[in-house]
Amino acid sequence: MGRAEPASDGAVVRAVLAGDVEQFAVLVRRYRDRYARYAAHMLGSADAAEDAIQDALIRAFDQLRHCREPDRFAGWFFLILRNRCFAERRRGFREARPLEDSQEVATSVDGPDGAVERIERRRALERALLVLTPEQREVLVLKHVQGLPYEEIAQLTGATVASLKMRMHRAYDRLRDELEEHR
């Protein structure tokens, strides 16, 4: 027996626009987790990421009739989330802090001391990330956390590969300085 193909993003968007609001749940399930790491690193916490993703999904629904290319909903949704993250960063966002990592000590295989040191290094790096500009931080997160190549980041953000590399390279220098100071 053949399995039904999942509906494409374009088909789901068109169904929602035709009045079937419940179909939007398909897009929620499909995209709620995809950019969670991105939002968490951009905003400094998983809680803030969850708020941002919730807002972005609701805004996407509100603006759905402006989605010119329903088959490319993923990229369009990313831009909404990105705008939301940048806006929050510009507002000085909530208490910036490293991502939660309290459970790591208990689960670490290299003993509590090694784990504590690793967590300290991670915290120092997360603190250093907070001094980057949102654009520098974004490219670092997309490249080194999400693992995307520059070409894909360029497609997502609309920036050129050359300018992304420039941002990234400045971010490396800035991080080096920042971590040097806290050493």
Partner 1 sequence: MTREFHPLVKRLLDGELTLGDLPLELRREGEEALRLLAPLDRAPVTLSPALDARVMATLRRRAGSPATVRESFRARRVWRWISAPRDVEIRLRVRPWAVGALAAAAVLATLVLGRSSAPPVGDAVAAFGSTRPGVLVRFVLYAPGARRVAIAGTFNQWDREATPLAPAGRTGVWTTTLALAPGQHQYAFVVDGARWVPDPAAPAVDDGFGRRNSVVAIAGPGGRAL
Binder to partner 1 among 113, 151, 152, 177 (CB under 8 A)?
177
What's the burial of 123, exposed, middle or buried (CB within 10 Å: 0-12/13-18/19+)?
middle
Of 1 and 108, nearer to partner 1 (C-beta) is 108
CB of 122 to partner 1, least distance (A): 4
CB 29 within 8 A of CB 12: no
d(CA 70, CA 149): 24
Locus of tokens 């499909």: 30
Tell me the site size for partner 1, rule CB under 8 A.
Answer: 63
The site string for partner 1 over 51-80 (x = CB under 8 A, - otherwise) reads --xx--xx--xxx-xxxxxx-----x--xx
Residue from 6, 8, 17, 94 touching partner 1 (CB under 8 A): that is 17
Among the residues of the chain, which ranges form H helices? 9-17, 24-31, 36-43, 46-62, 73-90, 104-107, 111-129, 134-140, 150-157, 161-181
Q: Which of 115, 118, 127, 155 binds partner 1 (CB under 8 A)?
A: 118
Interface mask toward partner 1 for 97-116; x: CB under 8 A: --x-x---------------
- Say which residues have a Cβ less than 8 Å from residue 169's Cβ, sequence separation at least 6: none
The secondary structure element, H or E, covering residue 144 is none
Name the residue type at position 84.
Answer: R
Q: Quick check: 52 and 32 in contact, CB under 8 A?
A: no
- 46 is an interface residue for partner 1 by CB under 8 A: yes
Provide the minimum distance between the beta carbon of 5 and partner 1 in the complex, in angstroms, as a whole number.
Answer: 22
Selected binder of partner 1 within 72, 115, 122, 130 (CB under 8 A): 122
Contact positions toward partner 1, by CB under 8 A? 14, 17-22, 24-25, 28-29, 32-33, 36-37, 39-41, 46, 49-50, 53-54, 57-58, 61-63, 65-70, 76, 79-80, 83, 99, 101, 118, 121-122, 124-126, 143-145, 147, 150, 158, 165, 168-169, 172-177, 179-180
